[in-house]
Amino acid sequence: MEIIKKYTDLVSEAIENIKWSDQKLYDPMKYMLNLGGKKIRPALTLLGAEMAGARAEDAISQAVAVELFHNFSLIHDDIMDRADLRRGNETVHKKWDEPTGILSGDGLMVMAYEHLINNAFESTGAFIRIFSKMALDVCEGQMKDMDFEYKTPTQDEYIDMIRQKTAVLLGSALQIGFLIGKDDEESASRLYQCGVNWGIAFQIKDDYLDIYGDERIGKTVGGDILSNKKTILYLTAYENADDKDREILEKLFANHDRSQGKIDTVKAIYDKYNVGEACLSMANRYYKKGNNLFGELVIPREARKTMLKLAEMLLLREY
């Protein structure tokens, strides 16, 4: 993304400069980090620092920590979700094996903590607390996500799950970056809340794009439907559908049919109940909530513009 290229370049360079031991443990970590990814989360940390008047360069180690943690969670999630592909390539546990995936994920989390405290000085304790709270949220969120396979959640329960699993990392990334520049916990917490709301909007849009988006590299349109993932689209349809359609949805999401016909049938029900629009408007509400909170913060002009533009792009993206 052009608007954050300045930041993602810094992060990519820092990741390339990580001194790796030649132990086998580190090969899957390097592999995973080399698969790319948009690096939005670490960019948020650098932008967070600028929003507090520091230089992006001052927060690089913390930005790397955020990216390492994100990759830890992807490796472990892929094992739990039995996913074969990540960013169009074999997942770690497919390319190696599950034990290697578990261990290299563990190692990435440890390395994230190491990077988090580099040059953090008196903020070290605060960073560990924020980061650990975030990490437990992510674990709790993933646990809920897995449970939803067996138990259909309400929309509210679902939003709470994506808040924990996805959104808090965006919030914490901003918060930690901000604290590098300014010892102002109240503003940093507010910025965290902005990130959480934008993050929820981002994830709702992600759910939406699974079926209404352009075909994207490494992802199948309708993939969530084929894997019976009860996204916000499904839950919105489920809560609005009549008994007959609800029964069809339940049946389809209980079998392992992986045909285009299944996608078409489900999409027809989504369309019938205007599920796509409802979800976009829900995403928009969270997006605006983030913007409103953000409006109350005093932030240098250039960084503010970039942040608002990025939040908008996360919502408006079509892939």
Computed on alpha carbons and rounded to an integer, the radius of gyration of the chain in Å comes to 20
With residue 85 as reference, give the H or E element that holds it.
strand 85-86
Interaction between residue 259 and its own copies (CB under 8 A): no
Minimum gap (Å) between residue 241 Cβ and its own copies = 29
Q: What angle do CA 13, 65, 300 make, to 5 degrees?
A: 80
Q: Is the CB of 162 or the CB of 211 nearer to its own copies? A: 162
Interaction between residue 48 and its own copies (CB under 8 A): no
With residue 171 as reference, give the H or E element that holds it.
helix 168-181
Minimum gap (Å) between residue 133 Cβ and its own copies = 8
In a 3-state reduction of DSSP, which class is residue 42? helix
> Within 10 Å of residue 250's Cβ, how many Cβ atoms?
12
Q: Are 293 and 37 in contact (CB under 8 A)?
A: no
Strands 85-86 and 89-90, sheet pairing: antiparallel
Give the one residue of 111, 159, 221, 303 binding its own copies; rule: CB under 8 A: 111
Q: How remote is the C-alpha of 101 from its chain's centroid?
A: 20
Interacting positions 8-47 with its own copies (CB under 8 A): 21, 23-25
Interaction between residue 140 and its own copies (CB under 8 A): yes
Tell me the per-residue interface mask from 57 to 96 with its own copies, x by CB under 8 A, - otherwise: -------------------x--xx----------------
Interacting positions 141-200 with its own copies (CB under 8 A): 142-143, 146-147
By CB under 8 A, name the binding residues for its own copies. 21, 23-25, 76, 79-80, 98-100, 102-107, 109-111, 113-114, 116-117, 120, 124-125, 128-129, 132, 135-136, 139-140, 142-143, 146-147
